[in-house]
Amino acid sequence: MVDPIANFSSRTFAEQLHTTFNVGMADGSSIPLELTSVNEPAAPAGVEMFSVHFRGPRAPRLPQQIHRFQHGKLGGFDLFITAIAGDDQSTTYEAVFHRLRKKQP
C-alpha cells in the first residue's frame, strides 16, 4: 500500500493554503488546523526539502508525534508534526519534508 504523502510535494500543499485540515484525537474528536505557509528553501540537486506550518487552537496542544490528518481534497494521511510557537490565541505546528527527489521518466 502506497503512503499518500509519498506523492505530496510543496506544490500539493501550496495549492491548499489557508484551508482546514482536521487532526484526529484519541477520543474520536478532531482539531481543525489551518495551513498557513509552505516554505521551500534551496536544496541540492536531487533533494526535496520543504516545510509546512499549521495554526490551531491554543489548547489542547497536540504532542510531537505522528497524527492522522483529514482534508477535503487530499484525503487522509499520517504526518509527524511539532509545535514550534504559541501565544494566547493559537499554536503553530511544523512538518518537515526532506527526501530524495523522484526521478522523472
| Domains of the chain, residue spans | 1-37
Cα first-last separation, the chain: 22
| pTM reported for the whole predicted model | 0.90
Distance CA 84, CA 91 (A): 8
Q: What is the DSSP letter of 15?
A: T
* Cell representation of residue 28: 474520536
Counted residue by residue, the chain has a size of 105
- Tell me the pLDDT tens digit for each residue of 51-104: 999 999 999 999 999 999 999 999 999 999 999 999 999 999 999 998 887 665
3-state secondary structure of 2: coil
In angstroms, what is the C-alpha Rg of the chain?
14
